[in-house]
């Protein structure tokens, strides 16, 4: 075998089917060979992964850099945070006013919502100049024009996945909610727009797919007012204002529309047993539907903090773990958004209504949380983690086998994992802006200690160091998908 650029030796290489000791050779950014431990080719650089596991780079299907702050700034600070969490490919979900155009407006107006033809080149260039992970886009739709132009977007930009934030569907409610305008959603939409988008997306499938944030805010507002009137201000009140059925009813409704239009459907936040039941029923009807949850919903109970969709009860978390183990949850995503300030600036103890929603560091904690709560506690094997955090999102979003797997010819995206590393989380460790985490003080066992993107080391965490180091010198690549094919090399 000829000399290669990088050799990772003595590690245990993990696939969805299992794991085996092997040496991994990477050359010119691609996996060149998976070798027996006894075969050690000449390499420009050798990394000894003895006692550690080697997994594919994570594909995070849901991040929101640019939602509340300029896209270039968020890419500069949050893509290193993603790399610290083992992410090498990031699926960016943003509406048209948040695609990097200048000047950045703190709150958008209806006139700011435009065709993606006007913003996509800027978005792609902004990512290529500022993001250290590879990335693709899932545009958030609001207008009939956008829905009708989907085949054009697919052909010109390789955009094959799209999102509807159903909590922003009602225009009157959306106009009153500052946090929706802050994230770039300004005008609302009706079912006709969703129907047209599904029709358009079905034409480019596979891998065309519509994703939805299911949460009926017309129902939520009723519970919100009732809880306000009751005088409750505790953190759990935030979860109680968004009942389980408000999520599940959207899944039932739009799964049927997906059936009518023959459009694949992806549920971005699967957080309740009722939602899982609705997804099972849809699958029984032959609907192509996928479920995404998040380590946030698996590991943090209601009362911890306020986000949308809200955190759920411990008994619901256990149902989600069981669904993940059984294959009813297909993927996990971070839903990462840059927070609006330090914890002291956001938290109003004893008053959930004055506390600012959202918390940082979600993307860099997705892998440590899953290693600790999932793998090391025996809830799922490491192969299942690879399935739901690497391979499945790559397959669903049309970038497999270039991404999401370790096989010859795939991109050399690798995470080296130390399942025994024991670290007490401190805010000083955090790369995300602002630098704090909701799990400060919690001891986590199992950490990514090196992240490699196309053969380049992005993150390194030597033994004994207090935090990981970002060492990337190159930039990420935009990954266009191919309409009509779920496979990409």
- Angstrom distance (rounded) from CA 272 to CA 230: 25
Give the pLDDT score at 174.
Answer: 72
pLDDT at 460 over 80: yes
Cα–Cα distance between 163 and 95 in angstroms, integer?
9
What pLDDT does 1 receive?
86
**pLDDT digits over 321-331, tens only?**
999 999 999 99
Model confidence pLDDT, tens digit, residues 271-325: 999 999 999 999 999 999 999 999 999 999 999 999 999 999 999 999 999 999 9
| Residue 348 pLDDT greater than 70, yes or no | yes
What is residue 383's DSSP assignment? H
Give backbone dihedrals phi and psi of 342, rounded to 5 degrees, phi first.
-70, 165
CA angle 364, 439, 441 (to 5 degrees): 120
What is the model's pLDDT at position 313?
A: 98
> pLDDT tens digits, residue range 400-452?
999 999 999 999 999 999 999 999 999 999 999 999 999 999 999 999 999 99
Helix or strand run (H / E) with residue 236 = helix 236-240
Q: What is the pLDDT, as a whole number, of residue 470?
A: 98
Average pLDDT across the chain, whole number: 96
Q: Over the stretch 229-240, which tens digit does the pLDDT of each residue have? A: 999 999 999 999
Whether the predicted pLDDT of 178 surpasses 70 = no
Residue position matching structure tokens 């002291």: 344
Q: Look at residue 181 and tell me whether its pLDDT is greater than 90.
A: no
| Proportion of the chain above pLDDT 90, given as a percent | 91
Mean pLDDT throughout 192-217? 98
CATH code of 4-54+412-470, in short, is: 2.30.40.10
Give the integer Cα–Cα distance in Å for 20 and 319.
Answer: 31
pLDDT (tens digit per residue) in 72-114:
999 999 999 999 999 999 999 999 999 999 999 998 989 999 9
Q: Top-level CATH class of 57-405?
A: alpha beta
Domain chopping of the chain, boundaries = 4-54+412-470, 57-405
- 172 — pLDDT class (breaks 50, 70, 90): confident
């Amino acid at each position: 075998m000829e000399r290669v650029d990088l050799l990772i030796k003595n590690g245990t290489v993990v696939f969805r089917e299992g794991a085996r000791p092997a040496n991994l050779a990477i050359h010119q950014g691609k996996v060149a060979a998976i070798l027996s431990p006894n075969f050690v080719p000449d390499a420009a650089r050798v990394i000894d992964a003895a006692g550690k596991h080697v997994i594919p780079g994570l594909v995070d299907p849901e991040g929101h850099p640019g939602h509340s702050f300029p896209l270039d700034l968020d890419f500069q600070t949050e893509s290193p945070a993603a790399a610290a969490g083992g992410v090498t490919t990031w699926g960016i979900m943003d509406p048209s006013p948040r695609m990097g155009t200048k000047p950045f407006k703190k709150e958008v107006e209806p006139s700011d919502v435009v065709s993606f033809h006007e913003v996509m080149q800027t978005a792609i260039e902004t990512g290529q100049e500022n993001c250290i992970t590879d990335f693709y886009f899932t545009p958030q739709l609001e207008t009939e024009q956008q829905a009708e132009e989907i085949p054009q977007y697919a052909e010109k930009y390789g955009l094959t996945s799209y999102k509807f934030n159903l909590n922003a569907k009602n225009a009157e409610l959306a106009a009153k909610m500052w946090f929706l305008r802050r994230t770039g959603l300004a005008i609302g939409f009706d079912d006709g727009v969703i129907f047209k988008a599904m029709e358009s997306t079905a034409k480019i499938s596979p891998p065309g797919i519509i994703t939805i944030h299911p949460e009926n805010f017309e129902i939520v507002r009723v519970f919100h007012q009732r809880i306000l009137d009751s005088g409750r201000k505790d953190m759990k009140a935030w979860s109680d204002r968004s009942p389980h059925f408000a999520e599940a009813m959207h899944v039932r409704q739009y799964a049927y529309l997906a059936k009518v239009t023959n459009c694949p459907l992806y549920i971005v936040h699967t957080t309740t047993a009722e939602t899982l039941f609705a997804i099972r029923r849809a699958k029984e009807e032959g609907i192509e539907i996928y479920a995404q949850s998040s380590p946030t919903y698996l590991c943090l109970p209601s009362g911890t903090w306020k986000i949308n969709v809200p955190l759920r009860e411990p008994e619901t978390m256990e149902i989600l773990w069981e669904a993940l183990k059984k294959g009813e949850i297909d993927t996990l995503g971070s839903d990462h958004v840059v927070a609006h300030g330090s914890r002291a600036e956001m938290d109003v103890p004893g008053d959930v209504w004055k506390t600012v929603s959202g918390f940082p560091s979600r993307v860099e904690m997705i892998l440590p949380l899953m290693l600790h709560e999932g793998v090391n506690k025996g809830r799922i094997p490491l192969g299942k983690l690879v399935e739901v955090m690497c391979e499945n999102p790559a397959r669903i979003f049309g970038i497999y086998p270039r991404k999401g797997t370790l096989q010859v010819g795939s991109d050399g995206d690798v995470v080296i994992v130390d399942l025994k590393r024991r670290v007490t989380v401190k805010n000083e460790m955090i790369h995300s802006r602002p630098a704090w985490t909701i799990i400060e003080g919690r001891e986590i066992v199992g950490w990514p200690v090196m992240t490699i993107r196309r053969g380049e080391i992005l993150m390194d965490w030597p033994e004994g160091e207090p935090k990981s180091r970002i060492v990337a010198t190159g930039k990420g690549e935009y990954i266009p998908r191919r309409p009509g094919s779920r496979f990409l090399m």
